[in-house]
């Protein structure tokens, strides 16, 4: 379906075209009209299927018809995301789609790990605020922002935002929002069985779930290697070199391990950087920026980067260590195979992890032929 079918403001359509989008993705085709109507919605669609524009476009569209947007510390739109890196990325989509709109929309990302003062100043006049929960509350406590006029709330990676990790902060934020508002929840892994909290959050929601078509070849190819822990390093280097991987995202289960794997790669002449929660914010931004712009060959990450991050045509993801939850697996491998471009996700599996890996594949409804790394020459 072409974007012109949507009745979007012509200036928005022009921005969509200049981003190179030609047709609507399935979630966009279904979610945007519902969102424009102002209804609550729950959008479930696979990783890399364009969920961001599914909420950014209707929000910007609505604002084109609100004459004279107020400049205040009371943003009408609030988007909550789990990580600083994702806040920046979503704000970038708002920015790209807001270019030259007749009714300018000021958007901004706020997140922790950097000084709060510049954010306190810059937040004045922001209409679309993209935030991580902790920093948003800090800004509220400093009276830099007032959430009582929020008209639209978006939870991106909604299942993550509503799980235990953010429970305390989210409860506090909900207490600051007006009761009457539009709620939009998006994620690739969001069960339709809403928990109590989701139920409170949504008023007669339209549930849109885009099922993957089984007859279509999946965009994310999966492969796996049986390998012992002590052979993982050599196998990683072997694969990177033998398959001439130009860009690869490697996942480990801890920051310490990410540092280690990255160091070892560098020692062997392969350009790499680690990224995880224990790194300084400057180091985090710098590593991701380099990787996104194709200037870094290997990024070794924890699950910090597994949610939402969009790397243009990333060809490879490697699970150096398997994640504990199948959900995290879905998000990790979903960094590749995005926007209709195929990718390969490789998993390293030790003997002890075979049953766990089988559970993950079963949940994904996938089957793969494993390679025994002992049969390889490296």
What are the residues binding ligand ADP (CB under 6 A)? 21, 24-25, 28, 45, 47-53, 310, 338-339
Q: Least distance in Å: CB of 74 to ligand ADP? A: 27
86 and 309 in contact (C-beta within 8 Å)? yes
62: contact with Mg ion by CB under 5 A: no
Whole-angstrom distance, CA of residue 113 vs CA of residue 99: 28
Minimum CB–partner distance for residue 21 and ligand ADP (Å): 4
- From the CB of 55, what's the least distance to ligand ADP, in Å? 9
CA pair distance 342, 135, nearest whole angstrom: 36
Q: Closer to ligand ADP at the Cβ: 21 or 166?
A: 21
Q: Looking at beta carbons only, is 19 or 200 nearer to ligand ADP?
A: 19
| Three-class SS state of 28 | helix
Q: Which is nearer to Mg ion, 308 or 343 (by Cβ)? A: 308
Q: How many CA atoms lie within 13 A of 26 on its CB side?
A: 14
Does position 50 interact with Mg ion (CB under 5 A)? The reply is no
| Number of shown-chain residues binding Mg ion (CB under 5 A) | 2
Minimum CB–partner distance for residue 146 and ligand ADP (Å): 29
Is residue 344 within 8 A of residue 316, CB to CB? The reply is: yes
Q: What angle do CA 150, 88, 52 make, to 5 degrees?
A: 65
- In the complex, least distance from residue 282 CB atom to ligand ADP, rounded to whole angstroms: 24
Q: CB of residue 46 vs ligand ADP: minimum separation in angstroms?
A: 7
From edge to edge, which strands make up the β-sheet containing 272-275?
272-275, 298-301, 248-251, 316-319, 343-349, 220-226, 370-372
Which residue, 130 or 240, is less far from Mg ion as judged by CB? Answer: 130
Helices (H), the chain: 10-18, 26-36, 51-64, 84-98, 117-122, 133-141, 158-161, 167-176, 196-201, 232-242, 255-267, 281-292, 326-333, 354-363
Q: Which of Mg ion, ligand ADP, none binds 307 (CB below 5-8 Å, type-dependent)? A: none
Given ligand ADP, Mg ion, none, residue 50, with its beta carbon under 5 to 8 Å by kind, binds ligand ADP
Q: Which stretch binds Mg ion (CB under 5 A): 91-99, 126-134, 278-286, 301-309?
A: 301-309
Report the distance separating Cα 85 and Cα 275, nearest Å.
11
Residue 51 binding Mg ion, by CB under 5 A: yes
Measured CA to CA, the distance from residue 343 to residue 82 in angstroms comes to 25
Q: Which stretch binds Mg ion (CB under 5 A): 147-155, 219-227, 271-279, 308-316?
A: 308-316
Strand order in the sheet with 107-110: 107-110, 128-131, 77-80, 152-156, 182-187, 41-44, 206-209
Unique residue bearing structure tokens 């400049």: 71
Q: How far apart (Å, rounded) are the C-alpha atoms in residues 160 and 166?
A: 8
DSSP labels for 179-211?
Answer: SS-EEEEEESS--SS--HHHHHH-SSPEEEE-P
Least separation in angstroms between residue 309's CB and Mg ion is 9
Least distance (Å) between residue 334 CB and Mg ion: 9
* Structure tokens belonging to residue 197: 């909290």
338 binds, among ligand ADP, Mg ion, none (CB under 5 to 8 A by kind): ligand ADP
Nearer to ligand ADP, 128 or 239 (CB): 128
Stretch that binds Mg ion, among 17-25, 207-215, 305-313, 344-352 (CB under 5 A): 305-313
Residues facing 186 on adjacent strands: 43, 156
CB nearer to Mg ion: pick between 61 and 187: 187
Stretch that binds Mg ion, among 118-126, 176-184, 273-281, 304-312 (CB under 5 A): 304-312
Q: Measured from the CB atom, is 192 or 377 closer to ligand ADP?
A: 192
Whose CA is closest to 46, among 159, 185, 187?
187
Q: Contact between 308 and Mg ion (CB under 5 A)?
A: yes
Residue 310 binding: pick among ligand ADP, Mg ion, none (C-beta 5-8 Å cut-off by kind): ligand ADP
Return the one option of ligand ADP, Mg ion, none that residue 232 interacts with (CB less than 5 to 8 A, by type): none
Q: Which positions lie near Mg ion, rule CB under 5 A?
A: 51, 308
């Amino acid at each position: 379906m072409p974007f012109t079918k949507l009745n979007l403001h012509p200036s928005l359509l022009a921005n969509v075209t200049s981003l190179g989008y030609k047709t609507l993705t399935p979630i966009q085709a279904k979610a945007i009209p519902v969102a424009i109507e102002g209804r609550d919605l729950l959008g479930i669609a696979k990783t890399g299927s364009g969920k961001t524009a599914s909420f950014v476009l209707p929000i910007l569209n609505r604002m084109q018809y609100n004459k004279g947007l107020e400049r205040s510390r009371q943003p009408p739109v609030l988007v909550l995301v789990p990580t600083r890196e994702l806040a920046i990325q979503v704000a970038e989509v708002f920015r790209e789609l807001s270019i030259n709109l007749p009714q300018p929309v000021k958007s901004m990302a706020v997140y922790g790990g950097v000084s709060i003062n510049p954010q306190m100043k810059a937040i004045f006049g922001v209409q679309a605020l993209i935030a991580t929960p902790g920093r948003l509350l800090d800004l509220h406590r400093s009276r830099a922002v007032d959430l009582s006029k929020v008209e639209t709330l978006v939870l991106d990676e909604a299942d993550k935002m509503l799980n235990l990790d953010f429970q305390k902060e989210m409860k506090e934020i909900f207490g600051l929002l007006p009761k009457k508002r539009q709620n939009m929840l998006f994620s690739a892994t969001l069960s339709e069985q809403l928990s109590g909290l989701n139920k409170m959050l949504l008023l007669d929601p339209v549930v849109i779930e885009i099922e993957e078509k089984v007859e279509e070849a999946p965009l994310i190819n999966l492969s796996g290697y049986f390998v012992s822990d002590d052979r993982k390093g050599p196998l990683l280097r072997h694969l990177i070199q033998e398959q001439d991987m130009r860009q690869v995202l490697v996942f480990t289960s801890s920051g310490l391990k990410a540092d280690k794997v990255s160091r070892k790669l560098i020692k062997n002449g392969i350009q790499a950087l680690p990224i995880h929660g224990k790194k300084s914010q400057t180091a985090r931004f710098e590593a991701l920026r380099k990787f996104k712009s194709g200037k870094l060959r290997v990024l070794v990450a924890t699950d910090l980067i597994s949610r939402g991050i969009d790397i243009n045509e990333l060809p490879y993801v490697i699970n150096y260590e398997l994640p504990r939850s199948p959900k995290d697996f879905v998000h990790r491998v979903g960094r590749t195979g995005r926007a209709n471009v195929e990718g390969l996700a490789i998993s390293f599996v030790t003997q002890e992890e075979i049953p766990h890996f089988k559970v993950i594949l079963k949940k994904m409804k996938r089957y793969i032929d494993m390679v025994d790394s002992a049969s390889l020459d490296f």
